[in-house]
């Protein structure tokens, strides 16, 4: 692709890495790694994308393609291509910041672009976990690593959160007034608790405060730090460390799967601990919303 003479919506003289850094969104204070990648590393790739004339959606799709290729390269036997695979995942992760920076530099931010961005979050980590587990299973000649991979994929895919949001949207479809209530908005927080819904004031809501993934406070918590290390954004980094540890161990005549097995086991352990807690909390949140709304449930999404 030929270099563009200047990005649309960006004055050529102002297109610099320093200028791009001013287009980064306010940091989510729970995510130390996100701040590092988003403000220090990604602006360089963003500069390249702008010079190539790529739109924000094109950057998102490019990151998705690179991530998919990276996940696929994790399936063959451990070797050079495995290293290329995790490096591709790192590039895809950096582009996950660049697409938003391109959108802000061009003035083209949109929720539709955010939808494409979230698709990458939903599919890429589980795919990488499954490919890794299949590779380890073939290497050891046993099926148990693939079982770990299935559990890891279930942990890395935020199914419990998506199910809660699906039910809340379905409830608001059948009762439009519900979607305009403060207690409904309280339930939308990622870590909403039943008490948040029960204690929310009557009447219309105020916009949710942008405050990290939890929407609660600009400070880290044990839960957020563990989530950052194991799930997002740490999943790609843990897998990268595990692959290079296995490559080094293999070169020294040691076991060639230990690093990846440890990471898969960590995700499995997280599932066993985390999923029951999330399901219990979200169940109570939905019950609390039903209680505040008069107990009306959308019949098309419930068999109760």
The model's pLDDT over 208-218, given as tens digits with 9 standing for 90+, comes to 554 444 444 44
For the segment 280-285, the average pLDDT, to the nearest whole number, is 93
**Is residue 83 helix, strand or coil?**
helix
Whether 60 has a pLDDT exceeding 90, the answer reads: yes
| Residue 11: per-residue pLDDT | 54
| Residue 157: per-residue pLDDT | 87
pTM for the whole structure: 0.82
For the segment 178-184, the average pLDDT, to the nearest whole number, is 87
| Residue 131: per-residue pLDDT | 97
For the segment 267-276, the average pLDDT, to the nearest whole number, is 90
284: buried, middle or exposed (CB in 10 Å: 19+, 13-18, 0-12)?
middle
| Residue 163: per-residue pLDDT | 87
Residue 160 CA to residue 280 CA, distance in Å, equals: 10
For the segment 45-55, the average pLDDT, to the nearest whole number, is 91
Residues 101-155 pLDDT 10s: 899 888 888 889 888 888 887 889 999 999 999 999 999 999 999 999 999 999 8
On whether the CB atoms of residues 148 and 262 are closer than 8 A, the answer is no
Domains of the chain: 12-297 (1.20.120.1760)
Whether 224 has a pLDDT exceeding 80, the answer reads: no
Of 195, 234, 202, the C-alpha closest to 216 is: 195
Exposure string over 6-16, b if 16+ CB within 10 A, otherwise e: ebeebeeeebe
For the segment 159-168, the average pLDDT, to the nearest whole number, is 84
| Residue 211: per-residue pLDDT | 41
For the segment 226-241, the average pLDDT, to the nearest whole number, is 82
Whether 204 has a pLDDT exceeding 60, the answer reads: yes
**Which residue has better confidence, 297 or 147?**
147
Give φ, ψ of 279 to 5 degrees.
-60, -45
Whether 185 has a pLDDT exceeding 80, the answer reads: yes
């Amino acid at each position: 692709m030929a270099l563009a003479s200047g990005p649309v919506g960006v004055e050529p003289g102002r297109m610099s890495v320093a200028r791009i850094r001013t287009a980064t969104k306010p940091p989510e204070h729970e995510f130390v790694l996100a701040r590092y990648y988003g403000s220090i590393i990604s602006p360089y790739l963003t500069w390249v994308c702008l010079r190539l004339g790529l739109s924000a959606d094109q950057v998102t799709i490019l990151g998705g393609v690179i991530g998919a290729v990276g996940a696929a390269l994790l399936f063959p036997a451990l070797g050079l291509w495995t290293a290329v695979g995790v490096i591709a995942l790192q590039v895809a992760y950096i582009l996950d910041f660049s697409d938003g920076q391109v959108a802000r530099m061009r003035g083209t931010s949109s929720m539709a672009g955010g939808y494409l961005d979230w698709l990458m979050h939903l599919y890429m980590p589980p795919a990488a976990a499954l490919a890794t587990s299949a590779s380890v299973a073939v290497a050891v000649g046993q099926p148990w690593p693939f079982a770990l991979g299935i559990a890891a994929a279930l942990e890395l895919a935020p199914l419990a959160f998506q199910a809660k949001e699906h039910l809340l949207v379905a409830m608001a479809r059948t009762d439009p007034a519900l979607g305009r209530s403060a207690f409904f908005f309280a339930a939308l927080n990622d870590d909403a608790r039943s008490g948040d819904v029960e204690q929310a004031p009557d009447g219309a809501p105020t916009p949710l405060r942008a405050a990290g993934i939890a929407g609660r406070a600009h400070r880290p918590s044990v839960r957020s730090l563990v989530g950052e290390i194991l799930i997002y954004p740490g999943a790609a980094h843990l897998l990268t460390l595990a692959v290079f540890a296995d490559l080094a161990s293999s070169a020294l005549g040691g076991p060639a799967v230990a690093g990846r097995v440890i990471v898969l086991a960590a995700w499995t352990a997280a599932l066993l601990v985390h999923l029951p807690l999330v399901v219990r909390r979200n169940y109570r949140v939905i019950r609390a919303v039903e209680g505040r709304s008069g107990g009306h449930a959308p019949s098309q999404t419930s068999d109760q």
